[in-house]
Amino acid sequence: MPTVRPAADAKFVLDIEEETAGWLTSAKGGLAAGTVVETNAGTAGIPDKQLGTIAYEDLVLRGPLSVMSKAFYAWLRAVADRTMAARKSGAAIVTDAAGHERRRLSFANGLLTEITFPAADTASRDAASFTLRVQPESARVVFPGAGKIVITPTRKKQKLLAASNFRFTLGDLPTKRVTKVELPKLTAKVAAEGPGDTRDVSMSIRFDLSAFDVEIAGGGARPW
């Protein structure tokens, strides 16, 4: 998160369009950076300098794949289906261990530009997690007012999806000996546009889907 390092016991909550989408394991990015524009030097020989275009870092969000809200999965589905989903506004909220809000990084008109799916691995003991990259048009850090605000994501308790618990099929090929699948990354590439305008994403995005890798134990790769 920008400007302030979260405490060791901090937790993160994702908010989408003023609705809680679920807990995150990490959230970073959103810093504002401006270019410095120099004008021609005057009679004194010293160029004038002024702040140019303001840009914001991408937000990088990571969390458990299986316990987010329906609205969150709908947002991912729209990108995975290569449909033109509207930008979303929201916040990455930092809480203490008890769930009291400490600060939030609010973002406006965020475009989901990258989805990294978890690897399926029979040797893994970790929960399956996603990583998202969101391109905001603007972002700012907001601190809560007086009193404590308790964050309570509206989801039932669910068992986390294990990265080792998967089934893989590919046509008629034998897959019982597949031990690991590196799933593809979906990236939305956005054409450059002028600053300050709300972008029409239906005209400025193309999607790229990376290849995926498969590991097979023993002699299981022979039929492939």
The DSSP line for 183-218 is PPEEEEEEPP--TTSPP-GGGTEEEEE---EEEE-G
- Number of DSSP helices (H) and strands (E) in the chain, helices first: 1, 15
Q: How far is CA 17 from CA 66, 86, 91, 124, in A?
A: 20, 12, 9, 34
The pLDDT, as a whole number, for residue 39 is: 74
What per-residue confidence (pLDDT) applies to 142?
86
pTM to 2 decimals?
Answer: 0.73
Cα separations in angstroms, 54 against 25, 30, 32, 37, 127: 29, 12, 7, 12, 37
Determine the longest span between alpha carbons in the chain, in angstroms: 79
How far is the C-alpha of 211 from the C-alpha of 203, rounded, in Å?
A: 25
Residue numbers of the chain with a pLDDT score lower than 70: 1-9, 41-45, 82-86, 145-158, 188-207, 209
pLDDT value for 58: 92
What's residue 41's pLDDT?
64
Domain architecture of the chain: domains with CATH: 11-32+52-221 (2.30.110)
